[in-house]
Structure 1
Amino acid sequence: MTTRWAPAKKDTLRELAAEIVHNYGRGRVVVAVDGDTAGAPGVGPFADDLAEAIRESGQTAFRASLRAFSRRPASAPRDAEPELDESVLRRVLVEPFLLGGSTGWVGAAFDAEADRALEPTWVTGPADAVLVVDGTDMSRPGLSGIWHYRVWVSVGDARTAGRATASAVVGNDDPEHPRRRFDDAC
């Protein structure tokens, strides 16, 4: 099947940013950009671009990644995948961010590659701001209630369980021409 027209990346991102700002224009908002690692390698870059589109719309946006809150358990072998420390994510990023005002938050807690904790860098922002967080499996129990809005970035036509709870599904087969998908998750 030949695609005759595909939206430019900036158009898809502006549409999502406009929807987020329209629905959550006041207060602090946390947006998840999710996807499965095997099928959606562009999750982090897509989240970067979405945060930039939100800024271009006139809203303040910040970025974070679940990877920056993940570390290897002490007893795990050196080649083990880092695991999300949900407690740290909530305590130093999400909860302080949502408090608003002059409360500071930390955008990264661990360097997974170096396998060490990072010196905290505290950030503050205005009362109206969006925090865009990328990662995988963000609808799992314990995390699903954090996000106000969740974008599922997919590659191909696979219908994975993560799409069921997404606010928006974006097909990212061609990263320069991502497409918003309006399909059910059945």
Structure 2
Amino acid sequence: MVDMARWAPQEIDTMAAIASEVVAQVGTNRTVIAVDGQDGTDLEHVAAALVAGFEQHGVQAMAAAASSTDADALRTDLVTPFRTTGAGEGVLVVHGHGLLGPSTRTLWRWSLWVEQETGRLERRADVKIAASAVLDVTDPDHPRREWNDAC
């Protein structure tokens, strides 16, 4: 019996595909997106990889750590300054746990929920449904975009 390894895209390919999805859905004119996820996921790494994905498409992007999960503080510290200091194309990827809570969901034009196999049963359906996309990082070298379909 031949052992055939299952092919999976590299991280940069997955993140470039997700960046392409963001560009198609919401554009890149001072766009602010959120990266939130399950406890234990490296959201800073995912945000940096997503920034690299945007750069693959020639889109200027930068990542920032959320200062809190308070909507007013996030708006004052990150969202408003990014949207008002500069013109044209640009994406800000804000990362932090709790960014897809009910009080902060409206700050983001697009959002990514990050999870891994460990503890998947505890994943929170309410924030997953709020996310624009779901990313499985069980294999960090080969993250997978999951289709969180309701059908």
Query: After the TM superposition, which residues 1-186 of structure 1 pair with which residues of structure 2 at under 5 Å, given as runs?
Result: 4-38=6-40, 41-66=41-66, 69-70=67-68, 84-99=69-84, 103=85, 125-156=86-117, 157-158=120-121, 159-161=123-125, 162-184=127-149
Say whether the 8 Å CA contact 1:164–1:185 is kept in structure 2: no
Deviation at 1:86, TM superposition (A): 3.8
Say whether the 8 Å CA contact 2:29–2:89 is kept in structure 1: yes
* Cα distance in 2, alignment partners of residues 85 and 146 from structure 1: 11
SS at match of 1:173: coil
SS at match of 2:78: helix
Deviation at 1:85, TM superposition (A): 4.7
- Kindly provide the amino acid, as one letter, of the partner of residue 160 in structure 1: R
Deviation at 1:163, TM superposition (A): 0.9
Say whether the 8 Å CA contact 1:60–1:128 is kept in structure 2: yes
SS at match of 1:145: helix
For structure 1, the 5+ residue unaligned runs are: 71-83, 104-124
Say whether the 8 Å CA contact 2:16–2:52 is kept in structure 1: no
Deviation at 1:185, TM superposition (A): 6.1
TM-score by length of 2: 0.84
TM-score by length of 1: 0.69
Say whether the 8 Å CA contact 1:36–1:137 is kept in structure 2: no
Say whether the 8 Å CA contact 2:33–2:109 is kept in structure 1: yes
- Kindly provide the amino acid, as one letter, of the partner of residue 87 in structure 1: D
* Cα distance in 2, alignment partners of residues 185 and 153 from structure 1: 18
- CA-atom RMSD, angstroms? 2.1
Say whether the 8 Å CA contact 2:30–2:88 is kept in structure 1: yes
Identity %: 38
Q: Deviation per CA, 1:59-105, whole angstroms, max 9, x where unpaired?
A: 11021111xx14xxxxxxxxxxxxx4543321132112223xxx2xx
Q: Pick the structure with greater CA Rg.
A: 1
SS at match of 1:32: strand
Aligned pair count?
A: 144
Structure 1 residues 152 and 62, CA gap change in structure 2 (3 angstroms): same
Higher helix proportion (structure 1 or 2): 2
SS at match of 1:95: helix
Say whether the 8 Å CA contact 2:113–2:131 is kept in structure 1: yes
